Amino acid sequence: MSLEDGLFGIHGKALALRSQRLSLLASNIANASTPGYKARDIDFDAALKEATTQAGKSAADVSKAADDSMGYRVPLQPSLDGNTVELSTEQTLFAENAVKYRTTLSFLEGRINTITRALKGE
């Protein structure tokens, strides 16, 4: 178990995965009008499970877990130009993931503040 895993548990890896998912969802939204673009997403639960079974591994391994858990989204109704981005779905998923990202970040900030106070003897 690495020091990071001991201090932050799964939250550090969760934050990294949520960041990667935000980037991917933003890419989907940006390409909503690109003919032939296929919407992608990360299966967050599967990626987090894979990342946590690799305790003590590097950030590159968290990225690998995200890549391994990435897939194409099947749209309810694909457009005629082959684009599979459904803008309302992407925006909803982006907003949900952003809230979860901020929640994880707040938890980690609290944890870091607690550790800092303990080190200062407060």
Q: Which range of residues forms the domain containing residue 40?
A: 3-120
pLDDT recorded at residue 58? 60
- Integer Cα distance of 31 and 39 in angstroms: 8
**Selection from 6, 18, 61 nearest residue 43 by Cα:** 18
pLDDT recorded at residue 75? 86
pLDDT recorded at residue 3? 55
Residues 10 and 67: beta-carbon distance below 8 Å: no
- Integer Cα distance of 94 and 89 in angstroms: 8
Residue 120 has pLDDT above 70, yes or no: yes
Please count the structural domains in the chain.
Answer: 1
Mean pLDDT of 40-57: 84
Average pLDDT, whole number, for the chain? Answer: 89
**Selection from 78, 70, 66, 76 nearest residue 32 by Cα:** 78
pLDDT recorded at residue 5? 57
Band (pLDDT 50/70/90 cuts) for residue 105 is very high
